[in-house]
Structure 1
Amino acid sequence: DGGDPKRKVQAGSGTHRNYYDGGDYAYLDTAPDDSFVNMESPIRWHGNGIMVVDVSDPANPKQVAMWWVPGQRTGEEAQYKAWREYGDKVSFTSLHGPMYAPKKVEDGGKLGYSAYGSFGMLIHDLSDIRNPRLVGRFTPDTKYTRGTVIAFHTIDVARLDRGFVITNPETLSPDCNETYVPSWIVDVRDPAAPRAISRLPVPTPPREAPYKTFCDKRGRFGPHNPPHIKAPGKPDPNFTCYAHFNAGLQCYDIRDPKKPRIVAYFIPPQGGELDKWNSYNRTVDSVFIEWDRKIIWIGTDTGLYALEAPALGKPITVPMPVKEWSLPGLNAGHP
């Protein structure tokens, strides 16, 4: 109670993964109160939704919208019972976040893209920012969404100019003790009818590895994060990478989105100790690419690595000013 027994106790979940591009609005992944409890997965008590906060006056931020899937809250039992996930006690029925609005609403942006766990990828019309309206949803068969895995963890919106996004899951259990869920390349040219183009190929170990599959290597196997959307330079239209936990960093040629292929990988030493559960599960956790300098940074449990990849091009290893950012209007007014 902070020393004051009269102080109001915080309810809800706090926030997990949020998005802010320096503009008028921030997009939060949150459950603002304790009514958001129709969550099937046992790993969380609350199921989060999408909160939009007006931060045009940084000293006085204001919530302007809160959107959730009908059935997530107490008092919505009819909608809850209509879910295909109802009562399964495993599905991640929550936003994992954040909602990405690749073009600022105040600059004419109209769409937001969200990774909403077992509910799939959701596309919202943000024309009326106070009333986000669901216009499209990509949800594959339940064999790809049911289970302890977070079926839709992040949406990579860096290639909307090519008409597609890439979705990825997050594996939660080690040693392949859950269904492997693919990363999808999804055609979003019609926001009302997103459809699958292909799936990113499943990584396999190098020939010299002492295991035949990554399932035989301790730790979690599956993608976690794409390159962060906010980065210096223009994202390569034909190349991307994913932090892939015990499979290290996996990089893909997506020139033909119908036939993506792995063109580079880096598997660092694995941290942790076998006798200490959960100490070795996040070998490669995140990736950040300086698109302008063609340098790939990865965060791992054994340190921070700077990498190059022939498919990305020759890296520039001397300092240089940022002339262009990955999204229009990003960091406007800042050096």
Structure 2
Amino acid sequence: MSLMVAFSTVAHATPPAGFDEFTGVWPTAVEPADCRPGDLVETGIQGEVPLDDRRSGRSTEGYNCNIDLVGQYQGRGAGPVSPTYENCAYIASTWPTNLLGPDAGVQVLDVSDPANPIPTALLTEPAMIGGTWESLKVHEERGLLVGTGVGLIESAGYISVYDISQDCAHPRLLNPATGSLPNMPIPITTHEGDFSPDGNTYWASGIAPGWISAVDITDPAHPMVVWGGLTGVAAHGMGFTPDGNTMFLSNLAGLTIIDVSAVQNRAPRTVIGHPLPHIGAKFWTDGLLNQHSIHVTYDGTPHLFTVDEGGSGGVKLFDITDPATPRWRTSAKLSINLPENQDRWASSNASNGPFGYDAHYCSVDRVDDPSTMACSWIQSGIRVFDVSDPDRFREIAYFNPPAQTGKHRQLPNSLHATLGSIAAPPVIGTFALARALMQGQTGADGVINDQSRLVGADLSADWCLSPPEFHGDMLYVTCMDNGFMALQLDPSVYPSR
């Protein structure tokens, strides 16, 4: 096994010979980070919180490599996606369990002093109390914060738009009527969402049955749906070309590529009913539940990072010179995601909820010739990669926060500690395990063990789902049980810019 793991840490510069982009499984992990003396390094293979560490309590100390925790605000935990803006952070809400605590809604933090984040406001409109899930997003240039009320996985109708450009610590609601009052919903389905690049449209998606809506927020005080339609059997997160004319919409196991220029270039509020043509699609079986995408360029050539939140797919990089036919260029995976390690993938997180060691959201330090990508990797914590060479990624740092074992009741706003405990086995991702077993790449010994249970996640590792966002040489991020954290990257791996 040690020889296999050592081999697996050398990533292919290009897809292996004969690699099939639909049926193939990327076979290698990124080169592991070279950690500092004194770091609390991982004791298992790359990305793993070993079963022994969970049993002994070692996982409550966390793991770090070339990153230091500067400051933290745990509060009552966090929902899936909590964005930041300048010196502020916005902690996503989880419905209905956030109602069990005294601070139901989206918590606003002032992070002017990263070592001492301070709560400054609580957003309590229907959308904010109703569980923002993956809809809570910031548009940097316009200084807007938008979120929708998602409820349990999917809902409809409520959206709140805030001005954060003047005082980010005290957001100002811009739409006190349409979309925000209980008796004035708008016709959208909600789960995930994001801004168009120019910030004039907020795109809301509601997973099943693949319905997405374009909300015109040119006038933020009066959000209005200007387009809505079916895109397939499911719709998740998204990414855009810089001009906003092409959407890369995440679906169950790939991307739907849509021409949205009619919405992007609309005469104000005149688009409803206009069909949006599909440019193409890209599907794969290495990973599932595609989450979101990031448009970047390398030497002027357009590329797309896209993230799978299930099935050990990791993060893929596609050359999208022809956006209709993305070409898979390389992948970022951890050793725990490889087929030969799927037995360890399943056994070590046997009782910590449906999500295991999978990527969820990423960000890059810049979109043109990115040098660094930071990702939330659920039970593997925060992972940071050197992506300056698009054919060979390597890991440079990681931070997996201390497990909050036994603190379920203290964290009513943590999706992991509350709703994530309904199902204890790592059911999201079992497709990769099943395939590895059928192909003889891994064994079943230990997959079911003394820690296995059907309900009640043991909180033996945190869930990190929110994108780590670059603030100079720091990362601002939330993990569900640990809440908000300000992390300092060591200058030896990420020089101050």
TM-score normalised by the shorter chain: which range applies?
0.5 to 0.7
The answer to whether the aligner puts 1:268 opposite 2:449 as a matched pair is no
TM-score scaled by length of structure 1: 0.62
- Greater C-alpha radius of gyration: 2
Offset at residue 154 of structure 1 (A): 1.2
The answer to whether the aligner puts 1:225 opposite 2:380 as a matched pair is no
The answer to whether the aligner puts 1:28 opposite 2:201 as a matched pair is no
Offset at residue 190 of structure 1 (A): 1.0
Among 19, 40, 48, which residue is 2:194 paired with? Answer: 19
Offset at residue 312 of structure 1 (A): 5.6
SS at match of 1:250: strand
Q: Does the CA-based 8 Å contact 2:375-2:468 persist in structure 1?
A: no
Matches for 1:142-153 after TM superposition, within 5 Å: 143-144=285-286, 149-150=288-289, 152-153=290-291
Partner of 2:485: 305
Matches for 1:94-113 after TM superposition, within 5 Å: 94-97=234-237, 99-103=238-242, 108-113=243-248
Q: Does the CA-based 8 Å contact 1:163-1:188 persist in structure 2?
A: yes
The answer to whether the aligner puts 1:164 opposite 2:303 as a matched pair is yes
SS at match of 2:206: strand
SS at match of 2:257: strand
Please give the per-residue CA displacement for 1:267-286, whole angstroms capped at 9, x wherever unaligned.
Answer: 21122448872463752222
Among 177, 180, 187, which residue is 2:319 paired with? Answer: 187
TM-score scaled by length of structure 2: 0.43
Q: Which amino acid aligns with 1:297?
A: Y
Q: Does the CA-based 8 Å contact 1:296-1:308 persist in structure 2?
A: yes
SS at match of 1:123: strand
Offset at residue 67 of structure 1 (A): 3.2
Offset at residue 23 of structure 1 (A): 3.0
Q: Does the CA-based 8 Å contact 2:295-2:302 persist in structure 1?
A: no
Q: Does the CA-based 8 Å contact 1:115-1:121 persist in structure 2?
A: yes
1:213–1:306 distance in 2 versus 1, CA, 3 Å: farther
Please give the per-residue CA displacement for 1:42-97, whole angstroms capped at 9, x wherever unaligned.
Answer: xxxx323221122223343322222323xx5xxxxxxxxxxxxxxxxxxxx41112
Please, which runs of 5 or more residues in structure 2 have no aligned partner? 1-181, 264-270, 338-342, 407-450
Q: Does the CA-based 8 Å contact 1:201-1:260 persist in structure 2?
A: no
Q: Which amino acid aligns with 2:456?
A: W
Offset at residue 128 of structure 1 (A): 1.6
Which is richer in helix? Answer: 2
Partner of 1:154: 292
How many residues align? The count is 245
Q: Does the CA-based 8 Å contact 1:201-1:262 persist in structure 2?
A: no
Matches for 1:61-140 after TM superposition, within 5 Å: 61-69=223-231, 93-97=233-237, 99-103=238-242, 108-118=243-253, 120-129=254-263, 130=271, 131-140=275-284
Among 463, 474, 480, which residue is 1:295 paired with? Answer: 474
Percent of pairs identical after alignment? 19
1:100–1:234 distance in 2 versus 1, CA, 3 Å: closer
1:203–1:313 distance in 2 versus 1, CA, 3 Å: same
Q: Does the CA-based 8 Å contact 1:217-1:246 persist in structure 2?
A: no
Please give the per-residue CA displacement for 1:131-156, whole angstroms capped at 9, x wherever unaligned.
Answer: 4321132212xx335xxx52x11112
Q: Give the RMSD, CA atoms, in angstroms.
A: 3.4
- Identify which of structures 1 and 2 has the higher relative contact order when contacts are C-alpha pairs closer than 8 Å and 6+ apart: 2
Please, which runs of 5 or more residues in structure 1 have no aligned partner? 1-6, 32-45, 73-92, 172-178, 206-211, 317-335
Q: Does the CA-based 8 Å contact 2:361-2:465 persist in structure 1?
A: yes
